[in-house]
Structure 1
Amino acid sequence: MKLVPRYTDIAENFAIEDFPASVASPQLLLWNESLAKQFNINIADDLRANIFSGNEQQAIPAVALGYSGHQFGHFSPRLGDGRAHLLGAISDDENQLWDIQLKGSGATPYSRGGDGRCALGPAIREYVMSEAMHALGVKTTRCLAVVGSGETVYRSLPQAGAIVTRVATSHIRVGSFQYLATQGDVEGLKNLADLAIERHYPEIIDTGSQRYLAFLGAVIKNQVKLVVSWMRVGFIHGVMNTDNTLVSGETIDYGPCAMMNSFDFDTVFSSIDKQGRYAFGNQPNIANWNCARLAESLIPLISDDDEQAVSLMTPFINSFAEQFNTQFTAMWAQKLGLSGAHASDDELIAELLTLLKGSELDYTDTFDALTESLNGEVLMPDVLTQWVIKWKSRTDENSYKKMRTANPRVIPRNHIIEKILAEYVNTGSSELLGSFMGVLSDPYFTNKNLAEYRALLQSDKNYKTFCGT
C-alpha cells in the first residue's frame, strides 16, 4: 500500500503529525474487497487487522487535521480530528488520489480530553450506510475495513471498540476553511482552496478572485446535487454541521443518520437534534447556510474590501435556492415518470405528498409500488386511487424506465441496520449483513428478499439514532 503525504504543506498546525494508538488484539471484522481492488491493495489476510487497526506504523507519518465547525449553529473554532488519523493518500486504478483515514484510532492533539476511540456499533453503521449510499448512487465516502480493537470503550455503557478505515476523495470540509480563516491565515486559505480546486474542480482555470468565486459556485452546485440525491432516497443526515460538509459534495459522517420510512418533511431521528434543525425537509436550507459560511471564510481571497467581497459572493449564495428548486422539481418528475412539463405538475406532486403524510405511507414502498404499477397490477392504498388516475394520465412509454432508476426497491431500513448492529455486538458477525449487501448491489431492480426488507408495520416515530463519539 503506497501512501503519499496529504495536507502537510497547507499551513502550520493544519495537519499535525500524530500516531495511532496501538490496540490489544485487533480482529478484522469487515473487509471491502471490491474497494481494495480499486486501490490495488494486496495485503495478506493475516496482516490486515494489524495494519488497519493502526498497530503498524506506515512509511510516512500519520496526521490529525484541524478544522472548525458550526455545530447546531454554534461555532467551535477548534475541533479537528479528535479520534482519527489520516494515513496519507492512495491512488486508485485510474491514478486518482484518495485520502485513507483511520477513525477510532486513539487520542490526538484535537481530542479535548476524549479517548479517541470508536465503539463497534457506530463503526459497523458507517460501513453499512456508506456502502448502501454508494450502491444507491449517492456521492459518499467509503469504508475499506472495520477492525475490532479487542478493547472496551466507555460511553453510557461499556462497549466493544473498533476502528474504521475510511476513504474519501478528500477530507476538505467547510470547517477546514473556517479554521484557517479564524486564524487569519490568508496564505493557508489560498493553499487549501487551490488544493481543493486541483482535486475536485480542475475545470476552473480562472485566476485571481474569479478563481475562488468559481470555486464557491462549484461547491454550491455540488451541495445542491447532494441534498437532492439524499431526499430522493429518503436519507436524513442528522448532523449537517459545517465540519461534516465536504467541499467535494460527498456524504461524510454516518453518526445519527437514518432513512425515512413514513413520509414527513419534519422527520427527525437524531437524539441530539432537539429542535429539528436537521430534519428531512430542512436539509436544503442548512446546506445553503453552510455554503454561506464557506463564503465568509473565502472573503480574504476575493477582495481586501470585505463589503466588495460580500457583494461579489452574494449572487452565488442566492443562486442556491433557484438551483435547488430546479433540481428538486426535476427529481420529483423523475420519481413520478412525468412526461414533459405541465402547469399542473406542482399541484399533482403536492397532492401526493399530502396524501403520503396524512396516511403515514412509506416513502420508498409507495414510489416502488407506483413504479411497478406501470408494469402490471399492483395493490395500491385506497387513499391514492383517485390520485393515481390523474398521475397515470401524465405518464408515457418511457415513464417506467425513468422511475425505476430513481426509486429504489431496497434501502438500509433502520430496523435492518439495528439488527445487523445487534448481531455484531452479540456475536462479532452478522449473517443478515451478507445477504443484505448482496441485495443492495442492485437496489433499484432487485427482486430478491423484498418482503424481508420492506418497512415494518409499526411506526418508527420513536426511533432514535446517536452520535458515534
Structure 2
Amino acid sequence: MTELTPYRPAPRFFQLGGEYADQVEPARFGNLVLRHRHDRAATEIGLEHLSDEAFVRHFGRFEPLEGQPAPVAMRYHGHQFRHYNPDLGDGRGFLLAQMLDGRGRLMDLGTKGSGTTPWSRSGDGRLTLKGGVREVLAAAMLETLGVKTSRALSLIETDEELERHDEPSPTRAAVLVRLSHSHIRFGTFQRAAYFRRTDQIEALTAHVVRHYHPHLAEDDPVGLLGAVVEASARLSAQWVAAGFVHGVLNTDNLNVTGESFDYGPWRFLPHYEPGFTAAYFDQTGLYAFARQPEAVFWALTQLGGALRLVADAEPLTEALNRFGGLYIEALRVAIARRFGVRASGGPQDQALVDSALRLLREGGPALRFEPLFFDWFAGVSSTRRALSSPRAPLYAGEAFEALRTALFALEPERPERLEHAVFNRPEPEEMLIDEVEALWDAIAARDDWSAFHAKLAALEDARKAYGFAVPD
C-alpha cells in the first residue's frame, strides 16, 4: 500500500513580514459550485482527503486550512511589455497557504478571482469562468507534455455576473486556486530595488535560496541569479518543444523557480509558425512563439539589474551570459524527450532539433505541430505506426529523411511506453483554440461540463502514456 503524503503546513513567505505583502480579506460569494478539483495534485500536498464540500469551504469561502495564517496579497513591480510599472502587486488574487509536498518542496496555494486587494487599482478582483476554464486546460496540457507548470487545484464557479470589454457580457465568474512551487517573481526583487531597499533584496535572496535553491549559500545573489537563469532556460526550451505560446512574459509573470504559471491569452501552435502570437494586444509580436527565449532573457537581465544593488556587475553579467548556451542544450534535451528518445550529448541531438524544425517548417499547415511528435514517439520503434498514420503522405522527401536519420541515430527511451492504448489512436491529444472554444461553448450555452471533464481525463491518460518525469 502506497504511503500517503501528510499535510504539512509551512507558511514561510508569510514570515518575511508586512513589507513584502498585505493581509487581505477575501471576497464573500453567495452560491458556489465546484467545477474542477485536481485530485492527484491534492494528494501531493496531503489534501486528498478533503470532500467536495471542504474544497468549497477552503478554496471558495477561504476558511483557513490548519496551520495557515490569513491570506496576503504579494507586493511586486514589473516590466509590462518592457514598460516599467510600479503600481503592480496581487490585484485579484493572494497567497492562500504554503505547505511541503511529498518531496519536501515548499509549495504555494495561490488564488485568482478572489476579490480586490490594495493592488487592484480599478479592477474588480474577479475572474471570468471562461478564464478559469482556460487556465485549467492550459496547465493540464502542459503537465501532460512534461513542462514545469503550476496546476489548477480547484475551479469554483461563483454566482456573480461580470462585465468585460473583450468578451460577451455579462459573463459567469469563478475563483481558481493554483498549486505552484513559488509565486516569488522577478518583479518581487524589482520592487525592492526600486525603493533602494538592499535589506529587502538580501532577505529575499536568503529566503529564495533557503527554500528553492538550497545548494547555494544564502548570501550569494550571483549564485541565485545563475540558478534562476538555468531554470528559466529549461522552461523556455520546454515551451518551444511543446509548441506553447505563453502570451504575456512580463517580469511579474516569471518566477524564481523557472515554473510556468498565470495563463491568460495562451495558445498552442496549430503548426510551426515562429511569429505566432497569443495575445491580440501583442501587436509587435514581442512575445511571439520563437521570441520567447529572447523575452525570458530580457526579463532575466532586469532581475540581474535588481541584484546589482547587492552584487558586482561582472559576475552577474557572466551568470546572465550563460543563458544562450543553457537554452540550446535544454532545447536539445527537450526535443529528444518529446520524441521519446535519449539525448546523446553529442551532435546527433542538434541534428534532431534542426531536422524536426525544418520538417515542421516545410510541412506548413498540413503538418500540425503536436502530431509529429506523437507519430514518431520512441523513434525507430514507431516506424510502422507513423507510416500508417493519417500523416503518412507527409513523411517523405529530403526534409523527412533528415529527421528519420537523426531520430534513428538516438536510442529510444523506454519504448515499452508504446504499449499504452493511447498510441493505438490515430491522433494525439491537442489543445488548439477551436477545441478550447468548443469546450467553452458547451458550458456557456448548455451548462454542459461533460466534454470539459472528458478532455481532462483524456489528458491524464496521455500524461500516463508519455510518462514524462516531473521536472524539478
TM-score range, shorter chain: 0.7 to 0.9
> Which residue matches 1:56?
63
- 5+ long unaligned stretches in structure 2: 1-6, 467-472
3-state secondary structure, aligned to 1:245: coil
2: CA distance, partners of 1:147 / 1:294:
35
> Which residue matches 1:69?
78
For 2:57, give the aligned amino acid: N
State which of 31, 34, 37 in structure 2 corresponds to 1:28.
34
Deviations 1:41-82 (A, max 9, x none): 233332322321135356621111111111111110120000
State which of 14, 18, 21 in structure 2 corresponds to 1:15.
21
Tell me, yes or no, if the aligned pair for 1:268 and 1:280 is still in contact at 8 Å: yes
TM-score, normalised to structure 1, is 0.85
Tell me, yes or no, if the aligned pair for 1:139 and 1:250 is still in contact at 8 Å: yes
Deviation at 1:395, TM superposition (A): 4.1
Deviation at 1:167, TM superposition (A): 1.5
Deviation at 1:383, TM superposition (A): 7.6
> Which residue matches 2:44?
38
Deviations 1:338-365 (A, max 9, x none): 87525993764564244134x5521112
Question: Which structure 2 residues correspond to residues 7-406 of structure 1 after superposition, within 5 A?
Answer: 7-10=13-16, 12-41=18-47, 42-54=49-61, 56=63, 60-156=69-165, 157-205=169-217, 208=219, 211-302=220-311, 309-332=312-335, 341=347, 345=351, 348-349=355-356, 351-357=358-364, 361-371=367-377, 374-376=383-385, 377-378=387-388, 379-382=391-394, 384-396=396-408, 399-401=411-413
Tell me, yes or no, if the aligned pair for 1:66 and 1:78 is still in contact at 8 Å: no
Deviations 1:305-360 (A, max 9, x none): xxxx2222111111111221233244445556587525993764564244134x55
Tell me, yes or no, if the aligned pair for 1:410 and 1:444 is still in contact at 8 Å: no
Q: Sort the Cα spacing of 1:28 and 1:298 in 2 relative to 1 into closer, same or farther, 3 A.
A: same
Deviation at 1:204, TM superposition (A): 0.8
For 1:387, give the aligned amino acid: A
Deviation at 1:244, TM superposition (A): 0.3
Deviation at 1:231, TM superposition (A): 0.8
Q: Sort the Cα spacing of 1:350 and 1:18 in 2 relative to 1 into closer, same or farther, 3 A.
A: closer
Tell me, yes or no, if the aligned pair for 2:8 and 2:45 is still in contact at 8 Å: no
Identity of paired residues, percent? 26
> Which residue matches 2:3?
none
Tell me, yes or no, if the aligned pair for 1:356 and 1:363 is still in contact at 8 Å: no
3-state secondary structure, aligned to 2:154: strand
Tell me, yes or no, if the aligned pair for 1:143 and 1:165 is still in contact at 8 Å: yes
1: CA distance, partners of 2:73 / 2:238:
30
- 5+ long unaligned stretches in structure 1: 303-308, 448-469
> Which residue matches 1:455?
none
For 1:244, give the aligned amino acid: N
Deviation at 1:9, TM superposition (A): 3.9
For 1:362, give the aligned amino acid: R
Q: Sort the Cα spacing of 1:360 and 1:313 in 2 relative to 1 into closer, same or farther, 3 A.
A: farther
Q: Sort the Cα spacing of 1:15 and 1:390 in 2 relative to 1 into closer, same or farther, 3 A.
A: closer
CA RMSD of aligned residues (A): 2.9
1: CA distance, partners of 2:268 / 2:416:
19
State which of 416, 419, 434 in structure 2 corresponds to 1:415.
434
3-state secondary structure, aligned to 1:176: helix
1: CA distance, partners of 2:256 / 2:408:
38
Q: Flag as ranges the 4+ runs of structure 1 deviating above 6 A.
A: 402-408
Q: Sort the Cα spacing of 1:404 and 1:107 in 2 relative to 1 into closer, same or farther, 3 A.
A: farther
Q: Sort the Cα spacing of 1:313 and 1:27 in 2 relative to 1 into closer, same or farther, 3 A.
A: same
Q: Sort the Cα spacing of 1:419 and 1:446 in 2 relative to 1 into closer, same or farther, 3 A.
A: farther
Deviation at 1:413, TM superposition (A): 2.5
Deviation at 1:229, TM superposition (A): 0.7
